[in-house]
Amino acid sequence: MASKRRLPAGSGLPEQDLPLKLAVGSALAVSGFYVRTNVCVSAASAQGLADVTDVDVLGIRHDLTFNQDTVAVSCKGDAARGLKPAKEIFYLRGVLDYVRARTGVVALDRRAVPPHLRDLGERLNILVLSGEETERWCNSLRSGAPDLDYFERAAYEKYRDVWRKLPSEGITQYLRAAYWFHFDFRNLQNVLAYLSKVSSSLSGAQTWHGVVMMDIAAHVCLTIFDLCRKVLMLGVSCVADTTAAYLFGGATSFKARRELYTKVEKLLASTGVVGAGGPQLPPLDPPYTKALAELVIHFIEKPHAATMVPWIVQDNLWRSLGAKGLAREDRNVLVAEKLAQDLLNFIKEAGGLSWAPKV
């Protein structure tokens, strides 16, 4: 997180905090988090978002009930005089609430941390680190696990170059900012709608097509986990009704839409506009509702593996950019790969693509 406006990705100008971001991102990813960098925090959801700040590193993972555990990290790699650590700590507390994160970290690479700032951080559930403490913390996250070569500088630059191949508006802008504003059902429908608009540009003929699809899949998966939690809480036997209601913002909203749909259908039938053997109203539910409900059931039936899917997708993304990646012997990893493929196949059909990458 940063209290100052960041340089946009692709500006060609140096980011002083980038090495620190990549080191933290790599450590979180190795320890099982799905990781994003430079996540835009906005004050509006409309086109032309009002940028407020951004989260330097955001790590997300889920427990076996699909409850989200999120860590937000503010990386300060310089010793600028204008940097005020206390203000940064308070600022990050607000960002944590915004992105629904439980824990925050302020990493001050070149600043000493006096005791009163550590006390402040503790009261606000924020870990404040300086200098070598950040490196030790990153090493503790790795906990002896092999380096997977994620977030290497060269691979990261390739990743940013990939997204420059698509228009800056549309799905690119949505995933960077609006996705993190909604945190709800709208993300699923909006991402798939934006994807359908660029489907002809993602034929699978180029390596970068797979990188884009993996990135999109991870975002879709996080939203599907939200639906998984609702289905789990309301009862798996109600998955069809819960899924349809979720896509319309909840049971109350869906009921109102369904009643209006029925009234319009009856009115049109009474005037002969629609009827048996003739024109029909388009279905109320999106055409992918049934497939989505089936995918949710697969996830719920295998939560140990399902909650690894964003991590598996992340692994495939970085492997395609040259990273070493995960070992494949673990049974849960193998099951998670199968579920990740199911996710990609669902996105292919729902987004109107002719192709989906293989995990």
Do the domain assignments include residue 174?
yes
300 and 220 co-located in one domain: yes
Residues 138 and 172 in one domain: no
Q: Is the pLDDT of residue 309 over 50?
A: yes
What are the φ/ψ torsions at residue 52 (nearest 5 degrees)? -105, -50
Written as six digits, the tokens of 1 are: 């997180």
Same domain, 104 and 211: no
CATH of the domain at 109: 3.40.1350.10
Please calculate the CA angle 241-282-288 and round it to the nearest 5 degrees. Answer: 50
Q: Judge contact between 219 and 175, C-beta under 8 A.
A: yes
Query: For residue 230, what are the domain limits?
Result: 167-240+285-351
Tens-place pLDDT, residues 275-292:
777 777 788 889 999 999
- Cα 128 to chain centroid distance, Å, stands at 25
47/96 same-domain check: yes
CA–CA separation, 311 vs 218, rounded Å? 8
Residue 132 neighbours by CB under 8 Å, 6+ apart: none
179 and 298, same domain (yes or no): yes
Instruction: Examine the domain organization and report whether 229 and 292 are in the same domain.
Output: yes
Q: Which of 89, 110, 145 is the last residue of a domain?
A: 145
pLDDT value, residue 8: 36
Q: Can you tell me the distance from the alpha carbon of 153 to that of 19, in angstroms, rounded to the nearest whole number? A: 8
Please report which confidence band the pLDDT of residue 3 belongs to, taking 50, 70 and 90 as the band edges.
Answer: very low
330 or 245: which leads in pLDDT: 245
How large is the average pLDDT for residues 251-263?
Answer: 88
Tell whether pTM > 0.75: yes
Whether 317 maps to a domain, the answer reads: yes
End-to-end, the C-alpha distance of the chain in Å comes to 32
- Establish if 90 belongs to a structural domain: yes
What are the tens digits of pLDDT across the range 143-172? 878 888 899 999 999 999 999 999 888 999
Whether residue 88 sits in one domain with residue 210: no
pLDDT in tens, 63-82: 999 999 999 999 987 655 56
Residues 116-140, mean pLDDT to the nearest whole number: 92
- Amino acid identity, residue 66? F
Q: Is residue 277 part of a domain?
A: no
Residues 127 and 193 in one domain: no
Q: In this structure, are 59 and 127 located in the same domain?
A: yes
Mark whether 72 and 190 lie in a shared domain: no
Nearest by Cα to 88 from 17, 30, 152, 158: 17
Query: Same structural domain for residues 192 and 234?
Result: yes
Largest CA distance in the chain: 78
Does a structural domain hold residue 309?
yes
pLDDT band at 51 (very low <50, low <70, confident <90, very high): low
Q: Is the pLDDT confidence value at 12 over 50?
A: no
Mean pLDDT within 349-355: 94
pLDDT in tens, 169-196: 899 989 988 899 888 899 999 999 999 9
What would the mean pLDDT of 226-253 be, rounded to a whole number? 93
Q: In this structure, is residue 295 part of a structural domain?
A: yes
Residue at which a domain ends, from 145, 177, 193: 145
On the question of pLDDT at 232 being above 60, the answer is: yes
SS (H, E, C) the chain: CECCCCCCCCCCCCCCCHHHHHHHHHHHHHCCCEEEEEEEEECCCCCCCCEEEEEEEEEEEECCCCCEEEEEEEEECCCCCCCCHHHHHHHHHHHHHHCCCCEEEEEECCCCCCHHHHHHHHHCCEEEEECHHHHHHHHHHHCCCCCCCCCCHHHHHHHHHHHCCCCCCCHHHHHHHHHHHHCCCHHHHHHHHHHHHCHHHCCCCCHHHHHHHHHHHHHHHHHHHHHHHHHHHHCHHHHHHHHHHHHCCCHHHHHHHHHHHHHHHHHHHHCCCCCCCCCCCCCCCCCCHHHHHHHHHHHHHCHHHHCCHHHHHHHHHHHHCCCCCCCCCCHHHHHHHHHHHHHHHHHHHHHCCCCCCCC
Mean pLDDT of the chain: 87
Give how many domains the chain has, as a whole number.
2
Residue range 24-29: mean pLDDT, rounded: 94
Is 253 part of a structural domain of the chain? no
Would you say residue 356 lies in a domain? Answer: no
289 and 218 both lie in a single domain: yes
